[in-house]
Amino acid sequence: MATKLMHALIYDRYGGGAAALKYVQVPIPIVKKDEILVKIEAASLNPLDWKLQSGIARPFSPRRFPHIPGGLAEYAVAKEKLTVVRPSEISAAEGAGLPIAGLTAYKALTQCAGLNLDGTGEHMNILITAASGGVGHYAVQLARLGNAHITATCGTRNIELVKSLGADEVLDYKSPDGAALKSPSGRKYDAVLHCATGIPWSSFEPNLSENGKVIDITPGPSTFVTFVLNKLTFSRKQIVPMILTPRGEDLAQFVKLVKEKKLQTVIDSTYPLSKAGDAWAKSMDGHATGKIIVQAYK
Ligand SMILES: NC(=O)c1ccc[n+]([C@@H]2O[C@H](COP(=O)([O-])OP(=O)(O)OC[C@H]3O[C@@H](n4cnc5c(N)ncnc54)[C@H](OP(=O)(O)O)[C@@H]3O)[C@@H](O)[C@H]2O)c1
C-alpha cells in the first residue's frame, strides 16, 4: 500500500535558524499505543522550538534528524492523556496557544505561586515581566481572575494592551523604574512570574515581600546558584525554577476558562504552513505581542 504523505517543516541539523527549515512532504506518522493521530489545523510557535534547534538540549532533544518542530505539519501524534477536545467556541488559532504558553502561565500562577483563580484566598501582589509575550499575556488575565494586584512590564507600544488584559500598573521595561521593577504604588511583590530573561536576582530581591518568590520560567545557571544560596542562607525570599510538565487535567481546566470567555489568546500574526520559516524568524526576533500562529488548513 502506498505511504500517505503530508506537508511538514523539517530541519536536519542543529543550528541555522529559519533558513535551515525545509518545507517538504513526509509520511504521515504512525500512532503507537496510548497515542492518537491529530489533524493540525493550527500550531503556535514557542521560543523553545528555536532554542532546541540551536542545540540547547543536545543530544537529548531532538534525538534524531530530520526533526519536525512544534507541530509544524498537517498531522502529528500525541499521547491521548495529554490531549483535550477543542470546544467549538475556541477557534483553532486561539486554541493553538493554550497547551504550552497558556499552561505555563496557569501552572506558574496556580501551582507555584498558589493563586486561587476564583479570587478566594489571600490577596496577592503579583509582578509579571514580559507581560506582552506568549506566556505573559495569559498570565495577566489569569492573575486578574485570581483578583491579584498586577504590576506588569512590557515595551511602550504594548502598555495599553496589557492594561486592557487586566494589569493595574504597567512599567515600560526600558524606563529606569521599569528596569528597577519598582511598583508605582509602592507595593512589594508576593510573587513574580518572570517571563523575560536577563534580569538579575539583585533587581528582584528589594521588590519582594517578606516571603516573596520569583518563578523563573527560563531558568539558567544563575537561577540555580541563587536557589541554592537562598536555601543555604535560610532566605524567606525564594527563586523557583519552573519547567512545564504538561498534564491533561490542567489543560482541560484551562480550556474551560477560555471556552467560558474568561480569557482570550492575543494573536500576534498568522502564517500558512508553507511560510512557517517566516513565523520562526519572527519568534526568534523576540518581539511578538501574544502568540505567533501557523495554520496548516484554513
Ligand atoms: N518553563 C517553561 O516550561 C516555559 C514554557 C514556555 C516558555 N518558556 C520561556 O519563557 C520565556 C517567555 O516565553 P514567551 O513565549 O512568552 O516569549 P515571547 O512571546 O517571545 O516574548 C516576547 C515579548 O517579550 C517582551 N520582552 C522582551 N524582553 C522584555 C523585558 N526585558 N521586559 C519586558 N518585556 C520584554 C517583548 O516586548 P518588546 O517587543 O516590546 O521588546 C515581546 O512582547 C522564553 O524564554 C521561553 O523559552 C518557558
pLDDT tens across the length of the chain (298 residues): 678 999 999 999 999 999 999 999 999 999 999 999 999 999 999 999 999 999 999 999 999 999 999 899 999 999 999 999 999 999 999 999 999 999 999 999 999 999 999 989 899 999 999 999 999 999 999 999 999 999 999 999 999 999 999 999 999 999 999 999 999 999 999 999 999 999 999 999 999 999 999 999 999 999 999 999 999 999 999 999 999 999 999 999 999 999 999 999 999 999 999 999 999 999 999 999 999 999 986 5
Cβ contact 241:224 at 8 Å: yes
Q: Is 244 close to ligand 1, i.e. is its CB under 6 Å away?
A: yes
Three-state secondary-structure class, residue 25: strand
Q: Which ligand 1 atom lies nearest to the CA of residue 47?
A: 47
Residue closest by Cα to atom 33 of ligand 1: 130
Cell of 212: 516573596
Render 121-170 in DSSP notation, one character per residue: SS--EEEEETTTSHHHHHHHHHHHHTT-EEEEEE-GGGHHHHHHHT-SEE
Q: Against a cut of 0.95, is the pTM above it?
A: yes
Q: Write the CB contacts of 42 (distance below 8 Å, at least 6 apart in sequence).
A: 91, 92, 93, 95, 96, 293, 294, 295, 296
C-alpha dist (Å) from residue 58 to 15, 47, 51, 251: 11, 16, 10, 28
Q: Which ligand 1 atom lies nearest to the CA of residue 129?
A: 33
d(C-alpha 48, C-alpha 70), whole Å: 9
Alpha carbon of 126 to ligand 1 centroid (Å): 17
Alpha carbon of 104 to ligand 1 centroid (Å): 12
